[in-house]
């Protein structure tokens, strides 16, 4: 309850600062939207030249992309840890965080809340809606619940991976360039992993399991029974990776000595 109250307070504060620069907010949402549209354009144009990619149809691939956008939007809203090292370690803001009586990761997350990214989830839902209408998919009454579980698993998975990466900042005081690299790998997860070679497929499934935020959970709604095992693994992987990320973070905090000044 205490944490939820904190969350609301931070959110209120955030909205106040954002409302002072309304045009910025609009700008950000519009450019996010263009970004999402570009990926969609890619899919649409490619499918003008072929009807199936490795057995996946246009609508299926669009659906996977739409699904991916939802956990991704939630993830960027809450885990906006891109400048963690710069802001908290190098500039020393972490010291301030550690003197306060709420969990440090939670505070860092709240200070970097980015609710305008949620617009991406709406785009994702629209894209999924369009694709499932085109395919004539039917949904059971419990599917929304499963959808929420799978989405949250994806958010936890992403969150875990990036929390772990941000925690590297505790050990190194210079930039490592790992985060942009992981971010690029993440883009692979948007397409069915069976188009890649075995090594990449293995990495995307078990090591940096970004496929669990795109193809695998989406396969459930697409009725792809051959991937059923992976669908049910999604929550397991999400919780597992989040716990690992949290563990690495906590170890990092223990190890943290401050960057001086």
Partner 1 sequence: MLSMYLEMIRIRFLMMLAYRVNYYSGILVYSINIGAYYFLWNAIYAGQPTLGGLTPLQMTSYVAVSWMARAFYFNNIDREMAMEIKDGKVAIEMIRPYNYLAVKMMQALGEGMFRLFFFSVPGMVIVSFFFPIVFPSDWTSWAVYSVSLMFSFIINTEINLITGVLAFFFLNNDGIMRAKRVIVDLFSGLILPISFYPDWARAILEYLPFQAIGYLPGLIFTGAIEGEALQHALLVQLIWSIVLLLPLYLLWIQAKKTLVVQGG
- The contact set with partner 1 (CB under 8 A) reads 21, 23-24, 26-28, 30-31, 34-35, 38, 41-42, 45-46, 48-50, 52-54, 174-178, 180-181, 184-185, 187-188, 191, 195-197, 200
**CB-wise, 133 or 183, nearer to partner 1?**
183
DSSP string for residues in 223-248: T-GGGHHHHHHHHHHHHHHHHHHHHH
Take residue 181 and report the two structure tokens written for it.
Answer: 């690299």
User: Residue 55: which region, alpha, beta or left (left: phi > 0; alpha: psi -120 to 50)?
Assistant: left
Q: How far is the CB of 251 from partner 1 (least distance, A)?
A: 23
**CB-wise, 146 or 182, nearer to partner 1?**
182
**CB-wise, 147 or 210, nearer to partner 1?**
210
In the numeric block, the tokens 């935020």 are attached to 213
Residue 217's SS3 state is helix
Alpha helices by DSSP H, the chain: 2-20, 22-46, 58-78, 84, 93-98, 104-111, 119-135, 143-171, 178-186, 198-202, 215-221, 228-255
Closest CA to 256 of 166, 176, 181, 159: 166
**CB-wise, 41 or 102, nearer to partner 1?**
41
Q: How far is the CB of 144 from partner 1 (least distance, A)?
A: 31
**CB-wise, 81 or 156, nearer to partner 1?**
81
């Amino acid at each position: 309850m205490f944490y939820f109250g904190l969350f609301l307070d931070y959110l209120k504060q955030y909205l106040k600062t954002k409302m002072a620069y309304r045009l910025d907010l609009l700008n950000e949402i519009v450019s996010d939207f263009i970004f999402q549209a570009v990926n969609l354009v890619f899919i649409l144009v490619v499918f003008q030249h072929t009807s199936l990619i490795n057995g996946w149809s246009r609508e299926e691939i669009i659906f996977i992309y739409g699904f991916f956008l939802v956990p991704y939007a939630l993830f960027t809203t809450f885990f906006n840890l891109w400048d963690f090292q710069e802001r908290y370690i190098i500039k020393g803001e972490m010291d301030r965080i550690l003197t306060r009586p709420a969990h440090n990761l939670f505070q860092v997350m709240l200070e970097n809340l980015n609710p305008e990214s949620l617009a991406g989830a709406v785009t994702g839902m629209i894209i999924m809606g369009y694709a499932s209408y085109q395919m004539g998919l039917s949904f059971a009454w419990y599917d929304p619940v499963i959808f929420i579980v799978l989405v949250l698993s994806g958010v936890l998975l992403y969150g875990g991976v990036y929390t772990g990466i941000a925690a590297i900042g505790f050990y190194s005081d210079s930039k490592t360039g790992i985060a942009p690299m992981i971010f690029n790998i993440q883009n692979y997860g948007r397409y069915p992993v069976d188009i890649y070679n075995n090594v990449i497929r293995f990495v995307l499934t078990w090591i940096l399991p970004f496929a669990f935020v795109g193809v695998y959970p989406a396969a459930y709604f697409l009725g792809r029974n051959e991937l059923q095992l992976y669908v049910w693994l999604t929550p397991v992987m999400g919780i597992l990776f989040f716990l690992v990320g949290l563990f690495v973070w906590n170890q990092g905090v223990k190890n943290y000595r401050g960057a001086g000044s």
